[in-house]
Amino acid sequence: MKQIKTLVIAAFLILGASQTIHAQAKTAHVDVSEIMSKMPAMLDAQKQLEKLSATYDTDYKKMVEEYQAKLKKYEAESATVTDAINGERSKEVQDMQKRIVDFRDNAQKELQQKESDIVKPLMEKVRTSIQKVGKAKGFQYILDGSTLLLAEGPNLTTDVKKDLGF
């Protein structure tokens, strides 16, 4: 009788342990930043952003050079012209400063917006691919590997890259 009790208890323990093992969620990790940095569409987007940024930089430098040249000229002529003309020139220089600052601020905003417009659909494409690969391999949770401190589970980065075609 004692052996039967022991066998029943052992059977319950084994069944309970197997249920616990099956109840654990399967997890994997993927390095989204690596995928994004090597994604051909992202590389093209970065080139577009660099080109746009270079255009803004050129225009900004041209504006600053004009401002500096005008300022230098006005400073050299300030002793030979009337106070009224100096007042007008001072206002003109202040207006130029404001235009330069506004241009710089608008350029930064436009670059950030353009980057957001480009990156958002690419991130969505990566997220969809991660879900597809994860479901195909039977994972319930997939963590972004760029923020993990310990990653002992499978790394799906290569599989996601393959699914995305690079």
Q: What's the confidence (pLDDT) of residue 120?
A: 94
Question: Tens digit of pLDDT for each residue in 108-151?
Answer: 999 999 999 999 999 999 999 999 999 999 988 888 866 555 55
Instruction: Compute CA 152 distance to the chain's CA centroid, rounded to the nearest angstrom.
Output: 26
* Number of compact structural domains in the chain: 1
Q: Which domain holds residue 9?
A: 2-164
The four Cα atoms 70, 73, 77, 79 give a dihedral, to 10 degrees, of 80
Q: How far apart are CA 27 and CA 41, in angstroms?
A: 28
Question: Tens digit of pLDDT for each residue in 59-107?
Answer: 999 999 999 999 999 999 988 999 999 999 999 999 999 999 999 999 9
